[in-house]
Amino acid sequence: MELLTKASYSSEVNEREKDNLIVAYEAACESVVLLKNDGALPLATKKVAMYGPGVSMTIKGGTGSGEVNERHSVTILEGMKDRGFEVTTKAWLDDYARYYENAEELYRQKKKKRINIFKPKTIMDMLFDDFCRPAGPDITEKFITNDTDTCIYVVSRQAGEGGDRKLEKGDYYLTDDEYKAISVCAASYDKFILVINSGAAIDMSFTEEIAGINAILYICQLGTEGGHAVADILSGKVSPSGKLADTWAKKYDDFPFAGEFGYLDGNLTADDYKEGIYVGYRYFDTFAVEPMYPFGYGLSYTEFSLYCKNVSISGHKINVDVYVENVGNKYSGKEVLELYISAPVNGVHKEYQALAAFTKSSVLEPGAGEELSLKFDLADMAYYRESDASYVLEQGDYILRLGNSSRNTKAVAVISLDREVIVSKNTNICPQPAKIEELKPATTDTTNLPRLLLSADAFTTAYYSYEKPALTDDTRVKDFVDTLSVEDMAEIVVGIGMFGGEKYFNLPGSVGNTTSKFVDRGLINVTLCDGPAGLRIQKRSTVEKGGKVKAIDMSMSIFEHFPKFVKKFMIGNPEKSPVIYQYTTAFPVTAALAQSWNAELLYKVGQAVLREMKEYGCTYWLAPAVNIHRNPLCGRNFEYYSEDPRLTGMLAAAITKGVQSEDGYYVTVKHFACNNREDERNFMSSNISERALREIYLKPFELAVKTGGAKAIMTSYNKLNGVYTANSHDLCTKVLRNEWGFDGVVMTDWFSTGGRKADDALAIKSGNDLIMPGGSSNKKKIIKAVKKGTISETDLRRCCENVVKSVMNSALQKEYIDK
């Protein structure tokens, strides 16, 4: 088959790449959180001492499917130099480079021994990059420079797909070497700034033990323009405006049931969500546990005041008008406005408060202000009552709290609901094998405030029909599927992977494709590419004789550890064959983007990703990932947004709208649902009450579908209450299609079916339309199941129609087949 690809034979930087770097820089600047500052920032000098692993080896993102193969990512050292800073500690940094090189070589040798190319499980296990960056040489007197009074130390951590973080030194805790180095720096310089370069929280108790830490900057992992963004924030060119999307605890044990997460209690087969709805700030605020840094917290170089001008109701939609003003006299900046709501407690326990709405100001000069509106629908704040499968608003007072963190709010109004409202009548889903005893707190407070009366008559109860969705009424899709046999339909609902299967259209580095076997009948294959920090494809490939494409820079870091004979077979030689180029942009990781609290910015990031999808021919972007930060040790928290479902869902909806702002390109919201742990993810069960499931863990998916219009969903590896999510009719049909009105494609996560994992045939019956990446055994199982009557031909046809419809509506189909 003739090679058809949109890759370029030119390595020149194009206009799209330049434009996307601007977006990446803006996103990086808004994602940085200033945790502490006694006046040391912004820097008063252009001459600084710099130490720590993250200075010259800055981590731009996580590993696994979260990797992006960009042209280059700017380190903090490069960024500082580019912005005119003089770094006085070249001797230490040069020594560190040698330490790093030696440690990395030892790691490579160790990893080579662990990989068995004949056992796919060992390869999947190696997705988790457990390389621990050395702290480097001791910071002794010979490295301490006397020509500056200012020092910066960068702590760095990296995690990734396939394994969780550990409650150990070098991961959640500082190593002894790091503790010593920070202590020396803090004692040796008048102004000491600590920078945390980690995809998720680390233990920060050491900052209360070590004297002399003047400022702390949490940069998370900022992608390709991170170094420039950090330099501009340190210099004061940009005032930090990021806010934490998670609560940082004073000590790990402050998290509810912290010792029962994953490996800590020795049970890798199940996680019992005993905290129920009390995740993150919901727990800390309700149970009065003092955090190190609260949810929504972040400092600026200036100060802001918030004034609630008016609260109004239209139907059951609430609008709060707020005037925000920069009351500082030197620096401009942006402020985040956060609106929380405390619901009445009439015998049903609830969190002290929940985020209802948020927005971010424009850049305000000193003395300048603007009026902003915070809007939400009270119906969206209903709790789920399991006894009658209903979303309910209880009668009573709903207190609105305005502020700039969960611990810095002021009650501004009360919405008084005259009687109970049943917002919707649902059906119970995902029953627990055994009931879990959950946390139950004391009641919320009451207060005297301006009171707005709201009649229950303003609401209409929603009812749902829980039936299998009807077959398509799209004539073009129906006519095409009418020509297919059961065997043909099995071909369509089973995808092909990165390395296997013949492709009509080839996007080097895509992790999957739909089938190419029907191109002569008018159906192209479309490509699926990883995210969520950007489009993950191969940046350089060779085109061999006959059109075979080989990667030069493998798109997954584990491949560098393969034996030489395998790499020779898989990896192209640019000296012998023509080279094609696909340079994409590494945006800040999702956890960093969440810290921007800026939906408009995430829409821009989505549009930037769309430009790259169009340029290279990607149809499905396997992002956004919206799993909740239930515990800071989850290895993929960097890929997810927040501990809060509304912040997560609204930002995911914004990036979804950006990507899908042109027809024929789709996001894939993942991992549906409760994939909140990586260790043994293929075999563990997340055991959870239906109330917590619906209010916390499904809510971001709901917002991405109903507000963002997401066109694809990916089920997760794990079981939910003992049932694999890919085999859950409750999730894939009842909730997703019957309740939320989803009209797109549901796909499995890669290699999540077969063997002891989810069943292929049941996945189709439950409403998974596409088995990924798929193979001949998957097809055989589905065909056999139809013949045995385990699944009906109608079940298979329904899934086939969904896939065909998405392909026929894709931009790639229109470009190459329908032109």
Listed in order, strand segments (DSSP E) in 317-386 are 317-326, 336-342, 354-360, 369-377, 383-385
In this predicted structure, the answer to whether residue 228 has a pLDDT above a threshold of 70 is yes
pLDDT for the residue numbered 446: 46
Residue 137 CB contacts under 8 Å (≥ 6 apart), including other chains:
92, 95, 96, 99, 143
Span 273-323, pLDDT tens digits: 999 999 999 999 999 999 999 999 999 999 999 999 999 999 999 999 999
Query: pTM of the prediction?
Result: 0.96
Q: What is the pLDDT of residues 178-197, one digit of tens each?
A: 999 999 999 999 999 999 99
At a CB cut-off of 8 Å and minimum separation 6, what does 369 contact?
323, 324, 325, 326
Q: Which residue has the higher pLDDT, 347 or 442?
A: 347
Average pLDDT over residues 208-221: 98
Q: Give the pLDDT confidence of 476-524 residue by residue, as tens digits.
A: 999 999 999 999 999 999 999 877 778 899 999 999 999 999 999 999 9
DSSP 384: E
Segment 356-380 shows an average pLDDT of 98
Whether the per-residue pLDDT at 359 is higher than 90: the answer is: yes
Tokens of 517: 């076997």
Amino acid at 447: T
Q: Mind listing the pLDDT tens digit for each residue in 580-630?
A: 999 999 999 999 999 999 999 999 999 999 999 999 999 999 999 999 999
The sign of the torsion formed by the CA atoms of 511, 515, 516, 521 equals negative
pLDDT at 1 over 50: no
pLDDT 10s digits, 25-34: 999 999 999 9
Neighbours of 1 (CB within 10 A): 11
pLDDT for 150 equals 98
3-state secondary structure of 567: helix
Look at phi and psi of residue 487 and say left if phi exceeds 0, alpha if psi is from -120 to 50, else beta: alpha
The mean pLDDT value for 533-548 works out to: 92
Q: Note the pLDDT tens digit of each residue in 457-484.
A: 999 999 999 999 999 999 999 999 999 9
Q: What is the pLDDT of residues 568-584, one digit of tens each?
A: 777 888 999 999 999 99
- List, for residues 56-80, the tens digit of each pLDDT value: 999 999 988 888 999 999 999 999 9
Higher pLDDT, 575 or 564: 575
Which of 462-468's residues contact partners 24+ apart within 8 Å by CB, and which partners? 462/423, 462/424, 462/425, 463/424, 463/425, 464/424, 464/425, 464/426, 464/427, 464/738, 464/739, 465/738, 466/427, 466/734, 466/738, 467/738, 468/733, 468/795, 468/798
pLDDT in tens, 391-448: 999 999 999 999 999 999 999 999 999 999 999 999 999 999 998 989 888 654 445 6
**Across the chain, what does the average pLDDT equal?**
94
Residue with tokens 């032109």: 819
Per-residue pLDDT, 644? 98
Residue 128 clears pLDDT 60, i.e. is over it: no
On the question of pLDDT at 127 being above 70, the answer is no
H helix or E strand, kind and range, residue 653: helix 645-659
pLDDT at residue 35 is higher than 80: yes
Nearest to 658 by CA among 584, 709, 605: 605
Neighbours of 653 (CB within 10 A): 28
Task: Show Cβ contacts of residue 713 under 8 Å, excluding neighbours closer than 6 positions.
Answer: 668, 669, 670, 672, 701, 705, 736, 742, 744, 745, 746, 747
Task: Give the per-residue pLDDT at 444.
Answer: 44
Residue labelled with tokens 């085999």: 727
Cα–Cα distances in angstroms (integers) from residue 442 to residues 295, 356, 447, in the given order: 21, 21, 16
CA 604 to chain centre: 16
For the chain, percent of residues with pLDDT exceeding 90? 85
What value does the mean pLDDT take over residues 130-153?
87
Running DSSP on this structure, what letter comes out for residue 412?
E
Helix, strand, coil percentages in the chain from 3-state DSSP, rounded to 5: 30, 20, 45
Beta pairing, strands 496-497 & 540-543: unpaired
pLDDT of residue 555 exceeding 60: no
Q: Is the predicted pLDDT of residue 9 greater than 80, yes or no?
A: yes
The angle subtended at Cα 335 by Cα 334 and Cα 341, nearest 5°, is: 155
Contact 126, 558 (CB under 8 A): yes
The model's confidence at residue 104, banded by pLDDT at 50, 70 and 90, is: confident
Long-range contacts of 106-109, Cβ-Cβ distance < 8 Å, separation of 24 or more: 107/131, 108/560, 108/561
Q: Once rounded to an integer, what is the mean pLDDT over residues 96-105?
A: 88
d(CA 28, CA 783): 49
Distance, C-alpha 440 to centroid of its chain: 29
% of residues, the chain, pLDDT over 70 = 95
- Residues 786-798, mean pLDDT to the nearest whole number: 97
pLDDT at 566 exceeding the cut of 90: no
Burial class (CB in 10 A: 0-12, 13-18, 19+), 66: buried
Kindly state the average pLDDT of the residues 202-210: 98
d(CA 219, CA 35): 10
pLDDT of residue 445: 47
* pLDDT, tens digit (0-9, with 9 covering 90-100), for 672-727: 999 999 999 999 999 999 999 999 999 999 999 999 999 999 999 999 999 999 99
Angle at 603 between CA 601 and CA 607, to 5 degrees: 115
User: In 3D, which of 73, 127, 818, 813 has the Cα closest to residue 516?
Assistant: 813
Report the pLDDT value the prediction gives residue 456, as an integer from 0 to 100: 95
Cβ atoms of residues 271 and 686 within 8 Å: yes
- 378: which 2 tokens? 């009270």
Burial class (CB in 10 A: 0-12, 13-18, 19+), 153: buried
pLDDT digit string, tens, across residues 167-180: 999 999 999 999 99
CB 542 within 8 A of CB 550: yes
Question: Which three-class secondary structure state does DSSP give residue 320?
Answer: strand
Token representation of residue 336 = 């985040």
Do 763 and 798 touch, CB atoms closer than 8 A? no
pLDDT at 119 over 70: no
Spatial CB neighbours of 640, under 8 Å, sequence gap ≥ 6: 590, 591, 625, 626, 627, 628, 629, 634, 648
**What's the pLDDT band for 818 if we cut at 50, 70, 90?**
confident
Whether 181 and 51 have beta carbons less than 8 Å apart is answered as yes
Of 227, 336, 234, 280, the C-alpha closest to 588 is: 227
Sheet holding 719-720, edge to edge: 270-272, 685-687, 719-720, 723-724
